[in-house]
């Protein structure tokens, strides 16, 4: 039956995450962005909430409650708080979820418990490449068979790179044209990590990764389905884009009711009010597209088309909402004391992101 109401359990989760985002993420978001540092205490608390571990397999101590719809609900709320911090909170999933889906028993046994322990352990996935036309389905990075192992070459970027873990999951093309994942120790010879500075998500440390003849044993290979990985990434990012857009919209709406010009709140002018109305409509519509794609994933269906359409739509909607918010605040929107300029920089990032979070 067609219905758009989250289950009671999901509503409870949403409420918890919403409180967390409002009370813990928002207050530190601007400082983190300016200092380029993540808030360790907030990440530790997020870990206690089990937002990632709930979805991991029970066999390794996870909650066994994988749901892309629930993940989308959570991702939106976190990103509403702050995109960079949200990506950090969900980063353990960047390694843990692909291993849960595609890893061997041995790989799961070796790696998953790390993300399910007492303390927060970040994850690191290298998919995007620093070139025009970066194509997650056909990476330019290569994995060549060599004896009973592989040699990796190529370059990656936008790779989350927080302290606290010692592997990175690298996606590279194999000789048969397909792509696979490779678990690479961060200290491996031939692996060079250069810290990045991007326009937005500055609180999240990311690196450009050079792979120069990096050797890994055969046991490091993860038989990834890249299409599935990208699909799950697009659903997660679409939900996060909705969160960013909603944050921008709410900031603009509240400001417009306060700010007066020509003797009345600017929200009483149609030029402002209609812009806000359009934002609200587009955000709700985009959210439903993201949910539909997530719902398909939960049914075990291929959802590449729906996820791609949703993500494509969200890229536009988030950017327009953020840009609209800057405009509604006028000159104040351009100033870093207010959030919209940050929303604008973060929203544009979805044009470059791919699998920076997973469901």
* CA dihedral over 133, 190, 94, 24, signed as positive or negative: negative
Residues 6+ positions from 222 with CB-CB distance below 8 Å: 98, 99, 102, 103, 104, 107, 169, 180, 181, 182, 183
In this complex, which beta carbon is closest to other proteins, that of residue 95 or of residue 229?
229
Q: Tokens in use for 124? A: 């690191």
Residues 6+ positions from 113 with CB-CB distance below 8 Å: 60, 61
Q: Is 271 in the site for other proteins (CB under 8 A)?
A: no
In this complex, which beta carbon is closest to other proteins, that of residue 99 or of residue 125?
125
Segment interacting with other proteins, rule: CB under 8 A, options 56-64, 178-186, 189-197, 271-279 = 271-279
321 burial type by CB count under 10 A (0-12 exposed, 13-18 middle, 19+ buried): buried
Q: Is 142 in the site for other proteins (CB under 8 A)?
A: no
Q: Is 225 in the site for other proteins (CB under 8 A)?
A: no
Identify whether the C-beta of residue 333 lies closer than 8 Å to the C-beta of residue 323: no
Identify whether the C-beta of residue 184 lies closer than 8 Å to the C-beta of residue 168: yes
Pair type for strands 179-185 and 221-222: antiparallel
Q: Which of 105, 106, 118, 132 binds other proteins (CB under 8 A)?
A: 132
Q: Is 295 in the site for other proteins (CB under 8 A)?
A: yes
> What is the pattern of x (binds other proteins, CB under 8 A) and - over residues 306-345?
--xxx-xx--------------------------------
Segment interacting with other proteins, rule: CB under 8 A, options 4-12, 20-28, 76-84, 200-208 = 4-12
Q: DSSP secondary structure string, 115-167?
A: HTSSS-----EE---SSTT--TTS-S-EEEEETTEEEEEEEEEEEE--TT--E
> What is the pattern of x (binds other proteins, CB under 8 A) and - over residues 88-127?
----------------------------------------
Q: Is 270 in the site for other proteins (CB under 8 A)?
A: yes
Segment interacting with other proteins, rule: CB under 8 A, options 44-52, 100-108, 171-179, 290-298 = 290-298
Q: Is 296 in the site for other proteins (CB under 8 A)?
A: yes
Q: Which of 79, 230, 239, 242 binds other proteins (CB under 8 A)?
A: 230
Q: What is the dihedral of CA 248, 249, 254, 257, to 10 degrees?
A: 130
Tell me how far, at minimum, the Cβ of 205 lies from other proteins, in Å: 25
Q: Is 291 in the site for other proteins (CB under 8 A)?
A: yes
Residues 144, 149: Cα–Cα separation, whole Å: 9
Pair type for strands 125-126 and 167-173: parallel
- Site for other proteins, rule CB under 8 A: 1-7, 10, 69, 132-137, 227, 230, 253, 256-257, 267-268, 270, 273-274, 276-278, 280-282, 284-286, 288-289, 291-292, 295-296, 304-305, 308-310, 312-313, 351
């Amino acid at each position: 039956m067609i219905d758009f109401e989250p289950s009671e359990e999901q509503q409870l989760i949403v409420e918890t995450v919403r409180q967390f985002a409002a009370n813990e993420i928002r207050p530190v978001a601007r400082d983190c962005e300016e200092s380029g540092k993540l808030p360790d205490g907030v990440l530790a608390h997020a870990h206690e909430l089990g937002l990632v571990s709930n979805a991991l397999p029970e066999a390794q101590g996870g909650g066994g409650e994988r749901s892309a719809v629930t993940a989308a609900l959570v991702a939106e709320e976190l990103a509403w708080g702050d995109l960079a911090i949200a990506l950090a909170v969900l980063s353990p999933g960047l390694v843990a979820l692909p291993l849960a889906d595609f890893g061997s028993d041995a790989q799961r046994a070796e790696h998953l418990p790390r993300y399910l322990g007492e303390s927060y352990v970040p994850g690191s996935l290298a998919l995007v490449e620093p070139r025009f036309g970066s194509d997650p389905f056909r990476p330019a990075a290569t994995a060549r068979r060599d004896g009973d192992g592989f040699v990796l070459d190529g370059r990656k970027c936008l790779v989350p790179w927080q302290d606290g873990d010692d592997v990175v999951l690298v996606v590279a093309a194999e000789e048969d044209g397909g792509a696979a994942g490779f678990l690479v120790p961060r200290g491996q010879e031939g692996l060079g990590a250069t810290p990045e500075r991007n326009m937005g998500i500055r609180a999240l440390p990311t690196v450009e990764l050079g792979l120069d003849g990096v050797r890994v044993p055969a046991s490091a290979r993860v038989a990834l389905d890249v299409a599935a990985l990208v699909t799950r990434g697009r659903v997660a990012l679409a939900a996060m884009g909705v969160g960013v857009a909603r944050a921008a919209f709410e900031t603009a709406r509240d400001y417009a009711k306060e700010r007066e010009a020509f003797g009345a709140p600017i929200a009483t002018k149609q030029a402002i009010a209609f812009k806000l109305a359009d934002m609200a409509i587009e955000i709700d519509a985009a959210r439903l597209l993201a949910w539909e794609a997530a719902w398909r994933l939960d049914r075990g269906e291929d959802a590449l088309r729906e996820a791609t359409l949703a993500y494509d739509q969200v890229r536009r909607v988030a950017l327009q909402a953020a840009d609209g918010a800057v405009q509604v605040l006028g000159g104040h929107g351009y100033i870093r004391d207010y959030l919209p300029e940050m929303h604008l920089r973060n929203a544009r990032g979805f044009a470059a992101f791919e699998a920076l979070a997973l469901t």
